[in-house]
A and B are shown apart, each in its own frame.
Chain A
Amino acid sequence: MADTLTKTTPEAPGPRATTAARPTEDRTAAAPEQPAPTVIADAVDVVYRVHGTAASGRGAATAALGRIVRRRGRGGEERGVRTVHAVRNVSFTARRGEAIGLIGTNGSGKSTLLKAVAGLLPVERGHLYTDGQPSLLGVNAALMNDLTGERNVHLGGLAMGMSRAQIRERYQQIVDFSGVDDKGDFISLPMRTYSSGMAARLRFSIGSAKDHDVLLIDEALATGDRSFQKRSESRIRELRERAGTVFLVSHNNKSIRDTCDRVLWLEHGELRMDGPTAEVMREYERFTGGKA
């Protein structure tokens, strides 16, 4: 995927980096046979506002009271609110069929960027355009520990917007893939009786059961044993083949190498590098290795 892009532009080192930060748009016209874009980020900034930071040094209660009193009538920047500029001026274009890895050290803004793409966080500046509704792979919050695995499969599917018929059709697949029934009939027991690994597998299994146009995965593969990780990676490849786009955040470099053909590297909220997996990973490993 990324390879086809490179052919149209000559090697452009150093100085051209500014324009090259938007590598794909430039070439759309020149290469009309490219797959359609699914996510376009245009100079996106995301800012968190944190209320209730006791920056003023007053007691927590008085500070809180002050906040409530001041809230009314004042339009501008509130006091006692700290801002965290988590994503800065990030631009990229993702296309159908791409699996894009998102790397960067802790706190570099990977999760924030995914949430913004999913439309779950507002962008401060810039624009995010998406094809359909990108979804985070994370059905966890909809599941209930006191319910059986079986009921959770239904509840989770419905929460993701699947129809009842779709769920019925995929039910056996979901259970088989999760492997919770391998050691007995666990699917009919409440989820609180599962080991944390089993629960994680069932959650991934439910979350990946839906056909997503754009699937955003945030460190979901870290759990589970090695064989399950292998299976999840092949599931991601499968999802991608069903003509979607997959974004994958992982701290497992091997996992990124195995599943992604393009990598975005975020550092301090800025897009530091965007390109084929091998190149970016090489730079990234030099960066993290050099730092340690």
Chain B
Amino acid sequence: MSQLLDKPPTATAAPSGLSGPADPPSDAAPALSPADLAARHGLTVSGARPSLPAYVRQLWHRRHFITAFATAKLTAQYSQAKLGQLWQIMTPLLNAAVYYFIFGVLMNTRHGVPDYVPFLVTGVFVFTFTQQSVMAGTRAISGSLGLVRALHFPRASLPLSYCLQQLQQLLFSLCALVAILLAFGVPPAPSWLLAIPALALQFTFNAGLALVMARLGAKTPDIAQLMPFVLRTWMYASGVMWSIDTVLKDRHLPHAVTVLLEANPAAVYIDLMRFALIDSFHAGRLPDHVWAWAVGWALLAGVGGFIYFWKAEETYGRG
């Protein structure tokens, strides 16, 4: 039997009072309201935000998707190029060459910095890692609305996956970096292993920042237009092509500026990487408590960013 509803049911019938006056007496049991029926069969409200532990579990469950998506994006990037995956190495090398030409040759920032080329290239690669993660994070939700609106998965998968793609990209860059280091006579040393914890911390920091930017960018996509300027300013302040410790030694800057320059997370991770890889970049050139800063920033951004992103989980891709 079917009902032709000429007019829509005007009464938004109270969920409980379902038995209208014309209904046959239901003597067996009282009629169930939709809410009661749902509760009895264990149905839940669709599209609600999971608890934080449940969210973490869902993400863990999707770990293979996160890695597969990152790898797929990375491979798809150069799939139409004739040289194919060779660009994974060529792009960072060309990047380094451009920076060397501008800052090392034209502007001569190298003044007073030993091993300037390894110094510069390490800085460029490490900063690019953070920069690209932030950029990709900003667009992670707003640029994947189709995916977000079609499929169910914890949305943090997207920014995390983009950060992972950047990490893979960085590993290619590091291969190029090793070649440059050896070419410029920097000897391999056990301290190179310190690059691993430094990178792990930086990755955590990047991921947290990307999660924050993903939420902001989901609400206001215009931020993606602004970010390149912000990031470029950040790069110039992070001692990528100049040496913070040399500059601080020469000048007498206010204490606050010194602390700000040294605590800048990008500078912290860049310096740690230089310390790990470049022989002449000895411990004396590191600011005080640099590892503590590195861990602190990673925890703050990682945990804070994750919670901040999760708080808006149910809003992504809607409206």
Contact = CB atoms under 8 A, between A and B. Distances in A.
Interface of A: 5-6, 9-12, 15-23, 25-26, 28-30, 36-43, 48-49, 88-89, 91, 93, 115-122, 125-131, 133-136, 138-142, 144, 146-147, 151, 154-155, 158-161, 163-164, 190, 270-276, 279-280, 283
A159 B1 contact: no
B29 to A, nearest CB: 4
Given A29-B26, A127-B34, A135 B152 contact: yes
A118 B47 CA distance: 7
- Main SS of the interface on chain B? loop
Interface in B34-58: 34-35, 37-38, 41-48
Contact of A9 (B1, B151, B152): B1
Interface stretch (B4-12, B114-122, B176-184, B210-218): B4-12
Interface stretch (B68-76, B195-203, B266-274): B68-76
19 contacts: A5-B1, A18-B13, A19-B20, A23-B1, A26-B18, A91-B9, A120-B148, A120-B149, A120-B152, A120-B317, A121-B47, A122-B319, A128-B47, A129-B46, A134-B46, A135-B152, A147-B76, A159-B151, A276-B1
A162 to B, nearest CB: 9
Contact of B61 (A16, A116, A128, A161): A161
B24 interface: yes
Among B20, B22, B42, B152, chain A packs the most CB atoms within 10 A around the CB of B152
Nearest to A11: B1
B260 interface: no
Given A120-B47, A129-B34, A158-B64, A147 B72 contact: yes
Contacts of A164: 64
A40 B2 contact: no
Given A129-B44, A276-B1, 13 more contacts: A11-B1, A19-B13, A21-B3, A25-B34, A118-B47, A120-B152, A134-B46, A141-B144, A144-B72, A155-B68, A155-B69, A159-B153, A161-B65
A183 B19 CA distance: 60
Contacts of A117: 46
B34 A29 contact: no
B147 interface: yes
A139 B151 contact: yes
B45 A154 contact: no
B311 interface: no
Nearest to B23: A19
B312 interface: no
